[in-house]
Chains A and B, each alone.
Chain A
Amino acid sequence: MSRRFWSNVLAVAYREARIVRHDRAFLGVVLMQPIMMLVIFGLVLSNKPANVPWAVLDRSADAVARRLVAEVQATGYFRPPRRVASYDQARDLLRRGQALAVLVVPEDFGRDVERGRPRVQLLLDGSDPLSAARIGAYVAEVAGAFATRVVPASARHAAPRLPGPIDVRQRFWFNPTLSDRVFFLAAFAGMLLTNLCLSVTSGGLVGEREMGTYEQMLALPTTPLEIVLGKLVPYVVVCYGLLVFAVLSSGLVFGIWPQGSWPALFAITLPFVLASLAIGVLVSVLAQTTAQSVFITVFFIMPSFVLSGVMYPYQFMPRGVREVGGLFPLRWYQLALRRIVERGAGFAEVLGPALALAGLFALLLVLVRWRMKPRLG
């Protein structure tokens, strides 16, 4: 590549940077969105059941049943239970969404306790399946380990404790309190950069064509490739600024610092940013008007958030859908981010995602080069 090539690229970059500084919509994306998303993903969203409304239909009026209810309540996931008198009332509460679970204690519960095989029924609101599944398992576990006979305090020293038949010792690696915040914020940089890269570049070339400035640039001794690269340079710089913001804000505000190699974190970001910018350029080459390019971008960002695994683990998705997610750069970047930020990985562990990102970038460059003609319109 000649010296003229790079000086042309830098000249276009300088021009682009001058323009961008005055773009209100761009500043909104760069300044407002990161803070808003930090609040949402750091503070607000969580999968962990909390404040669960539930009800008890106790037909036994047995002391043991009351103790069971108290033990379920003690797990901390629930609000104080409501009492209901009949199945119809229970169903009605579930239907209105005023209870997520109803614990039904049968009439002969006390007798069954004596015989050693007590049973209760748990009605769950299946319309919220994620919460229902967890609540069901929590209650089953509490009940399974429930001691139906209380050992008197005096005898407690003599007789061995009577816990459940298996003592489960569990630990969560990489995220000891199992907070969803760690899960979201580990991929925070990925979300910010996807939004930025796609929304700023996609309007670029179309906008220049609409305003006639593209033709002006073509009249200069710059090639289309130089123009495209030059327009991207300022955004790469902004992207690294956002990466630093993402790392510092999750670290300083929420105490979530990358456990692994920082150089690897900065290195893997480059192919991701380039691939994302290239998608934006491709959109701006394909779109006829600015409005179209913006639409395509918005509706590209949406599935890339959903399918890549930044919001839901991609392991949840069925085969096929999971593979489609591999077409989005965000999938590979979030894999690398989780490895570096959560599991303490270095260069070796993120080589796979890095290669995938580089491959996507190369593919996109070929597509852009093929679709972009220096046409005058």
Chain B
Amino acid sequence: MSGRRLRTLVLREVRATLRDPFTMTILVTVPLVALVLFGFVLATDVKHLALGVHDASATAASRRLIADLGASGTFDPRPYATRGALEHALVAGTISVALVIPPDFDRDLNGGEPPQVQVIYDGGEAPLAGNAEAFVRSLLVRSGASLAPPAAAPGGVEVVTRALFNPRLEGKPFMVAGTFGFVLSFLTTIITAVSIVNERLTGTFDQLQVTPATSAEILLGKLLPLGAVFAFDVVVMMLVAGFVLGVWPQGNALLFVAVSSGYVFFSLALGLYFSATSGTAAEAVQKTVLFSIPLVQLSGFAFPTRNMPFVFRWLAEVFPATHYIRVSRAIYLRAAGPEALAWELAVLALSGVVFMALALRTIGART
């Protein structure tokens, strides 16, 4: 391993990359677009959801109930004169939730019998209905308790809820921290794979091999600049997340950059492996995409791994992306320090080393 030769190779790679405006554009725009896209897309707080109401009771109490549901900003109540019109609106998709208050609501409320209301959700949009359900039920229980005459109130325990780390339960920080995992797992691998396959196809890889440089030097000469670019990407993403989306890391920013740079090398190794086993650039991309779908879906990027069936929960643990995204959220949102993350960091480091060794062996056998 010669430092001078390595430096030459690195310089060559940097020049080649800078001369390729398309790759440069991808490297800069994709992370930023992904960040903004994912940051805005997930709003967990149900807001201004169309709530159809058929109020057959039309008393002060039922109107109070509807007003309570509307007051939180979660629902926009819309009155419907008949039950049929309400059901039609649900089928047509103009409302997501339908509330039916029966004619004897007020009488039951004061007569000791618990009054019944009916709630129908549009289950077609399951995630939306799931969130709406949780809100409707707790709002109804709370509002009903205040409506009922004191004697009828059978107790109930008031819950004072406080969300740590993200008091307003915004979707943005969750998605931003996950997007680092998405970009560093996917973009990194795909860029590496294509870049090396292309060199093999154009013959420049063979040219490099007849120079005095060893294979290890050639590969390092490719990987180091790429790694540096992605480490730079991480910093740019952090700044954009902060200034555009208002999401700054709660924990140690340096620790986050260090962990991310380490994780980049795992992705580079994966890209190296795909490039070694592919004949054309298109094939390398197909392989990466095929592999990245489960990587991203199983890693808890969008849906928590704990909700998955048993077998897949364990499968997810095998993917380094799962651990990286976990670490990323822990540092970004919960200000966790290295001591709380020791296990996850160890898994990441180990898989990085194993994959790099595997990739180097595969590409060594090929060249």
The residues of A that contact B286 with a CB separation of less than 8 Å are 25, 28-29, 199
CB neighbours (8 Å) of B118 from chain A are 169-171
Query: Which residue in chain A gives the minimum CB-CB distance to B194?
Result: A291
In the complex, A337→B118 CA distance in Å?
28
Question: Which chain B positions have C-beta within 8 A of A160?
Answer: 112-113
Q: Are B141 and A119 in contact (CB under 8 A)?
A: no
The answer, among B90, B127, B154, for a CB contact under 8 Å with A313, is B127
Indicate which residue in A25, A131, A136 contacts B304 across the interface (CB closer than 8 Å).
Answer: A131
Distance between Cα atoms of A215 and B329 in the complex (Å) = 52
Is B117's CB under 8 angstroms from A123's CB?
no
Binary CB contact string for chain B from 87 to 125 against chain A (1 if under 8 A, 0 otherwise): 000111100100000000000010011111111111111
Return the contact of B147 from the options A134, A137, A165, A175 (Cβ within 8 A).
A165
Task: Let me know if A343 and B134 touch, CB within 8 A.
Answer: no
Partner of B34, one of A131, A136, A288, A302: A302
Stretch at the interface among A7-15, A39-47, A216-224, A269-277: A39-47
Interface positions, chain A 310-331, Cβ under 8 Å from B, are 311-313, 315-318, 321
In the complex, which of the residues A43, A94, A175, A295 contacts B312, with contact meaning CB atoms closer than 8 Å? A43
CB of B7 closer than 8 Å to a CB of A: no
User: In the complex, which residues 48-88 of chain A have their Cβ closer than 8 Å to any Cβ of chain B?
Assistant: 48-53, 68
Q: How far is the CA of A351 from the CA of B268 in the complex (A)?
A: 47
Q: CB distance B159 to A44 under 8 Å? A: no
Do the beta carbons of A51 and B140 come within 8 Å of each other? no
Task: State whether B114 touches A121 (Cβ < 8 A).
Answer: no
A94→B49 CA distance, assembly (Å): 31
Q: List the B side residues contacting A242 at CB < 8 Å.
A: none
User: B123–A95 contact, CB under 8 A?
Assistant: no
In whole Å, how far is A66's beta carbon from the nearest beta carbon of chain B? 13
* Interface: A226 (CB within 8 A): no
What are the residues of chain B within 8 A of A164 when measuring CB–CB? 114, 141, 144-145, 154, 156
- The stretch of A140-148, A244-252, A366-374 that contacts the partner chain: A140-148
Q: Which of A139-164 contact B (CB under 8 A)?
A: 139-141, 143-149, 160, 162-164
Would you call B126 and A175 a contact (CB within 8 A)? yes
Tell whether B13 is near chain A: CB-to-CB under 8 Å: no
Is residue A16 contacting chain B, with contact meaning CB distance below 8 A?
no
Complex: A178 Cα to B121 Cα, angstroms: 9
**Of B113, B123, B171, B335, which contacts A176 at CB under 8 A?**
B123
B212 on the A face (CB < 8 A): no
Which residues on the B side are within 8 Å of A343 (C-beta)? 91, 93, 124
Which residues of A sit under 8 angstroms from B334, Cβ to Cβ? Answer: 94-95, 97, 125, 127
* Least distance between A29 CB and chain B CB atoms (Å): 7
A-B contact count (CB 8 A): 365
A126 near B306 with CB under 8 A, answer no
- Closest CB in chain B relative to A100 CB, distance in Å: 8
How far, in Å, is B82 (CB) from chain A's closest CB? Answer: 17
Across the interface, do A130 and B171 meet the contact criterion of CB distance under 8 Å? yes
Query: Is B228 located at the chain interface by the 8 A CB criterion?
Result: no
B131 within 8 Å of A (CB atoms): yes
Min distance, Cβ A154 to any Cβ of chain B, angstroms: 18
Q: How many residues of A contact B (CB 8 A)?
A: 109
Q: Which of B214-222, B252-260, B290-298 interfaces with chain A? A: B290-298
A265 within 8 A of B: no
B211 within 8 Å of A by Cβ?
no
| Contacting pair A40 B293 (CB below 8 A) | yes
Contacts of B144 in A (CB 8 A): 164-166
Report the bound CA distance from A124 to B160 in whole Å.
11
Q: Is the pair A125, B116 in contact by a Cβ cutoff of 8 Å?
A: no
B24 proximal to A (CB < 8 A): no
Name which of B52-60, B161-169, B237-245, B353-361 contacts chain A.
Answer: B161-169
A341 to chain B, nearest CB (A): 9
B125/A183 in contact, CB under 8 A: yes
**How far is A128 from B169 in the complex, measured between Cα atoms in Å?**
8
Pair B163/A124 contact, Cβ less than 8 Å: yes
The residues of B that contact A313 with a CB separation of less than 8 Å are 125, 127-128
Of all chain B residues, the one with the shortest Cβ separation from A342 is B124
Determine whether A236 belongs to the interface, using a CB cutoff of 8 Å to chain B: no
Q: Which of chain B's residues have a CB closer than 8 A to the CB of A53?
A: 306
* Contact flag A139-B173 (CB < 8 Å), given A173-B90, A173-B121, A316-B43: no
Residues of B close to A48: CB separation below 8 A: 130, 307
Tell me which residues across on chain A come within 8 A of B152, comparing CB atoms. 165
Residue A186 CB within 8 A of the other chain: yes
- By beta carbon, the residue of chain B nearest A113 is B155
Say yes or no: B42 contacts A130, CB within 8 Å: yes
- A291 to B333, Cβ gap below 8 A? no
Chain A residues in 8 Å Cβ range of B112: 160
Query: Taking the complex as formed, is A89 at the interface, i.e. its CB lies under 8 A from any CB of chain B?
Result: no
- A165, B34: Cβ atoms closer than 8 Å: no
**A147 CB, min distance to chain B CBs, angstroms:** 6
Q: How far is the CA of A299 from the CA of B29 in the complex (A)?
A: 10
Q: What mask results when residues 228 to 244 of chain A are scored 1 for a CB within 8 Å of chain B, else 0?
A: 00000000000000000
Interface check A17, CB cutoff 8 A? no
| B208 on interface, CB distance cutoff 8 Å | no
What is the CB-to-nearest-CB distance from B166 to chain A, in angstroms, rounded to a whole number?
Answer: 3
CB-based nearest A residue for B144: A166
Complex contact A128–B174 (CB within 8 A): yes
Q: Which residue of A lies closest to B250 (CB)?
A: A127
Find chain A residues with CB under 8 A from B281 CB: 290-291, 294
A–B Cβ pairs within 8 angstroms, 20 of them: A48-B307, A121-B159, A125-B165, A126-B164, A127-B334, A128-B304, A133-B44, A133-B134, A145-B156, A146-B156, A147-B154, A162-B154, A165-B145, A168-B117, A175-B124, A290-B281, A290-B282, A295-B285, A321-B41, A338-B125
Additional 20 contacts, C-beta under 8 A, given A52-B306, A178-B129: A28-B287, A36-B290, A49-B307, A97-B336, A118-B155, A119-B160, A121-B159, A126-B165, A127-B177, A127-B330, A130-B42, A133-B44, A133-B45, A144-B158, A172-B120, A173-B124, A294-B285, A303-B33, A312-B41, A316-B44
